[in-house]
A and B are shown apart, each in its own frame.
Chain A
């Protein structure tokens, strides 16, 4: 792996969202991640980049895949990784987010990875602790590493994002993945579309620099990338859409609908998938699916992010 000095110093202490990143910040993270992919594909996957550093994963919402991805990323960089799971923590005993954060902070970690059901939780934590904070998903706000790994997956398959049409389909209203992706894809110049029933679109969506469609048949036309979103089970039955059956009929990605996109369109999903709800199995496992690549890129992007935030040059500068 090349010296970190070949990359510009990342100008942020935390990664709380895509919103505060410039296009060049994003590109430099993606470039770093490309290097991390190479490392992860070697038989010797461990580097010393973060040796001696302590990473705490603080997950208030269960998430097997994101948490293991961050854990593996930290371990491949040589950091000491601790997982703090909510089920066994004092959060259940009424301790507040801030108290938990202060307690962990006193253990002098170098980086905290947080997932929380409340929008703004990562930002709140970042105000109270002395280390770097990575937002691994806060309510319906942002999930920046997911957007970065999606962009990396697309860039490696398609090259320059600026000429691409990306259709984001499904529950945009509740989706932090959608918000981070809309911000990131726009920052890199892609044409972003959202396709969903209007009950699953946030207020003000027309001002979010996206083209809005309510029919898959219209929105998928000529798309280079089809990004499916997960529909939470509790939102399927009557509250936001009438039924699973109706949702899949109109908004589930099947062969017929996918045919409307470009023939080489990528199919993506942040996982975990509801097969038969938002995506047909034959598509999820089909030749256009890059869902497994997304998982691999996830580790690489998280390595890149942590290295950028914990750049040793930052310490020298602050000394």
Chain B
């Protein structure tokens, strides 16, 4: 394998709290050196030398919440098309959700995902498996065997487990295997609506989802996390109060981490406008105060990671009245650029932002990427942080085009994506 050398790049590596101009040397699919000191190592013979002056190199993003359509919904997204979208977005590792048909709740299905990924995906694909069989919230899956097969986390995907006793046992059992339980918290009875509850929903005549729909099961889960001492990850939180209760659980010493969907950092309920179905999301877009609270919690580290919550939906399920439309939006290709808004607006320091998009999720789910340390796999991206571009439907690699950022002006473009030293995308 050839050696690639990036010279004069700004190197941002949260795993070493490093932000400096230097050289990155990639050899045999691994990082050989990355930093200012690597400038003195000289350029190996026969190396590809890339002048990265004015550009930034960071570890490839690790997206811990990606819904794909394969198996069962390949018209929406395959593992291959999700991989292309990820590569274009600078995402080098994805954790796929078990909400497929069939549900990923069995060893053979984890193996299916890994095989499809090995044969067709441009990026690293790590399957998560269901906590309960068929996502029905009734019987635990085989955490031990699924983990051995390659499931990196357990989650019921879009579903929230109502049975507190079952969840307690699942968390207790998962702890023995060191498995992470990642859970979306939406009380099914309080989540009958379709957008954030409040004046805006009331004027639109749309059913509201109160913040309490998220907070009540989240508080329960955090109590169980304290009780069981399990590794618990609050998958997608969206309200200011949720951030507070996560913060308190962390202070109490619970092994708790939390994620936020990029939408909850970039958009608010007013983006729904006049019934724009691409903005029907879970959790729903909340108020501007909640959005600002999410940014603050991200900055302080109460929120550990940002996820795209990439959820491809085909046009036919979105061209419907708002309350009838499918939930979710694609997000792999815009994750970095939308996240960079927080850097450009001086709301979150770049190192923390890249940490939340790459280093922290790799650490939480014990994945190899998220770092430019020598010896690590060369999963990295070359980025022009300031490059302006406009999101257009036709440029999206995802099979589904339900982006909340269609037509949005973004700043920050991925120029090259490398997975294990192999270039899988270049602009």
**Would you call A64 an interface residue if the criterion is a C-beta within 8 Å of the partner chain's C-beta atoms?**
no
- Report the Cα distance A202→B201, complex, angstroms: 9
- CB B8 to nearest CB in A, in angstroms, measures 50
- Report the Cα distance A97→B320, complex, angstroms: 7
The 8 A CB mask of B182-207 against A (1 = contact, 0 = none) is 00000000000000011111111110
Report the nearest A residue to B199, measured CB to CB.
A204
Contact call B319/A123, Cβ cutoff below 8 A? no
Contact call B322/A120, Cβ cutoff below 8 A? yes
B205 touches which of A140, A203, A204 (Cβ 8 Å): A140
- Report the Cα distance A139→B323, complex, angstroms: 10
Contact call B319/A203, Cβ cutoff below 8 A? no
Contact call B322/A119, Cβ cutoff below 8 A? yes
Contact call A119/B208, Cβ cutoff below 8 A? no
Q: Could you tell me which residues of chain B, from 311 to 355, have a CB within 8 Å of some CB in chain A?
A: 316, 319-324
Contact call B201/A179, Cβ cutoff below 8 A? no
**Would you call B275 an interface residue if the criterion is a C-beta within 8 Å of the partner chain's C-beta atoms?**
yes
- Report the Cα distance A61→B55, complex, angstroms: 58
Q: Could you tell me which residues of chain A, from 75 to 114, have a CB within 8 Å of some CB in chain B?
A: 96-98
Q: Could you tell me which residues of chain A, from 130 to 154, have a CB within 8 Å of some CB in chain B?
A: 138-142
Contact call A118/B322, Cβ cutoff below 8 A? yes
Q: Which residues of B contact A138 (CB under 8 A)?
A: 205
Q: Which residues of B contact A207 (CB under 8 A)?
A: 199
Q: Which residues of A contact B274 (CB under 8 A)?
A: 120, 123
Indicate whether A204 sits within 8 Å of B320 (C-beta atoms), given known contacts A120-B275, A142-B205: no
B321 touches which of A116, A179, A202, A208 (Cβ 8 Å): A116
Q: Which residues of B contact A140 (CB under 8 A)?
A: 205-206
- Report the Cα distance A266→B67, complex, angstroms: 57
Indicate whether A118 sits within 8 Å of B199 (C-beta atoms), given known contacts A138-B205, A139-B205, A203-B208: no
Contact call A118/B323, Cβ cutoff below 8 A? yes
Q: Could you tell me which residues of chain B, from 195 to 246, have a CB within 8 Å of some CB in chain A?
A: 197-206, 208, 210
Contact call A119/B320, Cβ cutoff below 8 A? no
Report the nearest B residue to A207, measured CB to CB.
B199
Q: Which residues of B contact A97 (CB under 8 A)?
A: 320-321
**Would you call A63 an interface residue if the criterion is a C-beta within 8 Å of the partner chain's C-beta atoms?**
no
Indicate whether A124 sits within 8 Å of B275 (C-beta atoms), given known contacts A119-B322, A203-B208: yes
- Report the Cα distance A140→B274, complex, angstroms: 14
- CB A230 to nearest CB in B, in angstroms, measures 16
Contact call B319/A98, Cβ cutoff below 8 A? yes
Contact call B197/A118, Cβ cutoff below 8 A? no
**Would you call A121 an interface residue if the criterion is a C-beta within 8 Å of the partner chain's C-beta atoms?**
yes
- Report the Cα distance A35→B208, complex, angstroms: 41
Q: Could you tell me which residues of chain B, from 277 to 333, have a CB within 8 Å of some CB in chain A?
A: 316, 319-324
- Report the Cα distance A148→B55, complex, angstroms: 61
Q: Which residues of B contact A204 (CB under 8 A)?
A: 198-203
Q: Which residues of A contact B198 (CB under 8 A)?
A: 203-204
**Would you call A176 an interface residue if the criterion is a C-beta within 8 Å of the partner chain's C-beta atoms?**
yes
Q: Which residues of B contact A116 (CB under 8 A)?
A: 321
Q: Which residues of A contact B321 (CB under 8 A)?
A: 97, 116, 118-121, 124, 139
Q: Could you tell me which residues of chain B, from 155 to 200, have a CB within 8 Å of some CB in chain A?
A: 197-200
- Report the Cα distance A203→B205, complex, angstroms: 11
Contact call A96/B204, Cβ cutoff below 8 A? no
Q: Which residues of B contact A202 (CB under 8 A)?
A: 202, 208
- Report the Cα distance A22→B202, complex, angstroms: 21
Indicate whether A119 sits within 8 Å of B199 (C-beta atoms), given known contacts A97-B320, A139-B323, A141-B205: no
- Size range of the interface on A? 20 to 34
**Would you call A157 an interface residue if the criterion is a C-beta within 8 Å of the partner chain's C-beta atoms?**
no
- Report the Cα distance A204→B322, complex, angstroms: 20
**Would you call A205 an interface residue if the criterion is a C-beta within 8 Å of the partner chain's C-beta atoms?**
yes
- Report the Cα distance A141→B272, complex, angstroms: 15
Q: Interface size on B (CB < 8 Å)? A: 21
Between A and B, how many residue pairs show CB distances below 8 Å? 70
Q: Which residues of B contact A118 (CB under 8 A)?
A: 320-324
Contact call A119/B206, Cβ cutoff below 8 A? yes
Indicate whether A119 sits within 8 Å of B319 (C-beta atoms), given known contacts A142-B205, A176-B205, A203-B199: no
- Report the Cα distance A176→B322, complex, angstroms: 16
Contact call B320/A19, Cβ cutoff below 8 A? no
Indicate whether A203 sits within 8 Å of B201 (C-beta atoms), given known contacts A98-B319, A118-B321, A120-B322: yes
Q: Which residues of A contact B197 (CB under 8 A)?
A: 203
A141 touches which of B200, B204, B324 (Cβ 8 Å): B204
Contact call B204/A119, Cβ cutoff below 8 A? yes
Report the nearest B residue to A138, measured CB to CB.
B205
- CB B320 to nearest CB in A, in angstroms, measures 6
Interface centre among B200, B205, B275, B320 (most CB of A within 10 A): B205
Q: Which residues of B contact A176 (CB under 8 A)?
A: 205
- Report the Cα distance A120→B316, complex, angstroms: 17
- Report the Cα distance A142→B204, complex, angstroms: 8
Q: Could you tell me which residues of chain A, from 206 to 248, have a CB within 8 Å of some CB in chain B?
A: 207-208
Contact call B199/A120, Cβ cutoff below 8 A? no
- CB A277 to nearest CB in B, in angstroms, measures 22
- CB A259 to nearest CB in B, in angstroms, measures 32
Q: Which residues of A contact B324 (CB under 8 A)?
A: 118
- Report the Cα distance A118→B274, complex, angstroms: 13
Report the nearest B residue to A174, measured CB to CB.
B205
Q: Which residues of A contact B316 (CB under 8 A)?
A: 96
- Report the Cα distance A120→B201, complex, angstroms: 12
Report the nearest B residue to A128, measured CB to CB.
B319
Q: Could you tell me which residues of chain A, from 251 to 299, have a CB within 8 Å of some CB in chain B?
A: none
- Report the Cα distance A208→B201, complex, angstroms: 12
- Report the Cα distance A141→B195, complex, angstroms: 14
Q: Which residues of A contact B204 (CB under 8 A)?
A: 119-120, 141
Q: Which residues of B contact A139 (CB under 8 A)?
A: 205-206, 321, 323
Report the nearest B residue to A118, measured CB to CB.
B321
Q: Which residues of B contact A124 (CB under 8 A)?
A: 275, 320-321
Contact call B275/A123, Cβ cutoff below 8 A? yes
- CB A12 to nearest CB in B, in angstroms, measures 14
- Report the Cα distance A140→B201, complex, angstroms: 10
Report the nearest A residue to B316, measured CB to CB.
A96
B320 touches which of A96, A123, A205 (Cβ 8 Å): A96
11 contacts between A and B (CB under 8 A): A96-B316, A97-B320, A97-B321, A118-B324, A119-B206, A120-B323, A121-B321, A124-B275, A203-B202, A204-B202, A208-B202
Name A residues whose Cβ lies closer than 8 Å to a Cβ of B: 19, 96-98, 116, 118-121, 123-124, 138-142, 176, 179, 202-205, 207-208
Given pairs A120-B205, A139-B206, A204-B203, 11 additional interface contacts (CB within 8 A): A97-B320, A98-B319, A116-B321, A119-B321, A119-B322, A119-B323, A120-B275, A120-B321, A124-B275, A141-B205, A142-B205
The 6 A-B pairs of least Cβ separation, nearest first, read: A204-B199, A141-B205, A118-B321, A120-B275, A140-B205, A202-B202
